[in-house]
Structure 1
């Protein structure tokens, strides 16, 4: 798809993860945010980072990503809300500035794997700090189609917790996305293009968009709804 359509696809998404407003507030509470440094690695447009900055005076918030469209959206949102949040175009896996608080939600692939992410983040978070780590896991045995979509590297939740323990983390909070959060995430991920398609049915790109929307819905309902889980861990030492 071209740049215009790529920019439109996530416009109806609050954040690029299955997460409700109350669940987000709970996670921010569990992070015990205070004055100091917070970095969001793989931030996208950084909505959770912006929420953290809005509720925590003195927080020095930085979002790191390579997605220029997402970073621009984050900068615009920060400006419109009067928030001092820095958005930096950089590879999250190479970020080496220690911080007291770190977010890494849905970004394990940037580091190569769940285990590699947890080990790299252990070197980045200061010993007294906390990490909000979000990652997918197999909530039920995957079929061949789900394995093809998401690859062989996803693990079960017990194995994910073992990886956290092996990297030296202690779990301070654990929660998982519920079915409503997943359904809302999948629906909003399609909504931007669905609205565009309704307004531009004769556009030369319309058929490709229609095919993507139909395939994404089929895959979700048939192949990974209830099979792919997502967990949010608040980790400390």
Structure 2
């Protein structure tokens, strides 16, 4: 897809994770934000990072990602809200600047696996708190779901064991509910669905329709209710 459509792809999403406003506020509460440095690794457009900066004026924020479109969206949102955040184009898996607080939500793949992510993030937050979000098998997956999400997806007990094995203490955990999942999947399709409705004769429309139909089918048939998503507030 070209740059125009890539920019529209997630334009109706609040953040790129199944998370409600109320759930996000709960997680930010549990992070005990204050002065210091917060780094969001795999930040996308950094909406959760900006929410954190808005509630903790003494906090310094850095968002790290390789998605230029997302970083530009984050910078524009920060300017619009009068917030100061450093959005950095870099590989989050190689980030070594220590911080008192960190986010890594839906970005374990950057490190290669859940276990590798939790071990790598322990080097970024030698002492402090981490908000870690990751998928897990909430029910036994069918072969299609296994193919989509790969062999490294864990069950929730195994994910918690991996966190403990990397030296983290679980201070809080919660999971996305079905409404959060359905809203996430719907908004992930909404930007392109609106574009197709407005441009039905565009040469790119057929490819976009195929993607929309395929994504909806995969979700409903293969992983709705099977893939869960957990948010862990971890401490060291």
**TM tier relative to shorter chain:** over 0.9
Which whole-Å CA distance do the structure 2 matches of 1:163 and 1:185 have between them?
26
SS at match of 1:64: strand
TM-score (norm. length: structure 2): 0.99
C-alpha displacement of 1:213: 0.4
Partner of 1:131: 130
Which whole-Å CA distance do the structure 1 matches of 2:110 and 2:130 have between them?
16
SS at match of 2:119: helix
C-alpha displacement of 1:79: 0.1
CA RMSD of aligned residues (A): 0.5
Query: Does residue 90 in structure 1 map to residue 85 in structure 2?
Result: no
Which whole-Å CA distance do the structure 2 matches of 1:84 and 1:118 have between them?
28
C-alpha displacement of 1:126: 2.8
Query: Does residue 27 in structure 1 map to residue 18 in structure 2?
Result: no
What runs of 5+ residues in structure 2 fail to find an aligned partner? none
C-alpha displacement of 1:78: 0.1
What runs of 5+ residues in structure 1 fail to find an aligned partner? none
Alignment of 1:30-41 (within 5 A): 30-41=30-41
C-alpha displacement of 1:70: 0.1
SS at match of 1:99: coil
What CA deviation, in whole Å up to 9, does each residue of 1:194-222 have, x standing for no partner?
00000000000110011110110011000
What CA deviation, in whole Å up to 9, does each residue of 1:85-136 have, x standing for no partner?
1100000000000000000001100001000000011111032x00000000
SS at match of 2:38: strand
What CA deviation, in whole Å up to 9, does each residue of 1:163-210 have, x standing for no partner?
001001110000000000000000000000000000000000110011
Partner of 1:45: 45
Superposed structure 1 runs of 4+ greater than 4 Å apart: none
TM-score (norm. length: structure 1): 0.99
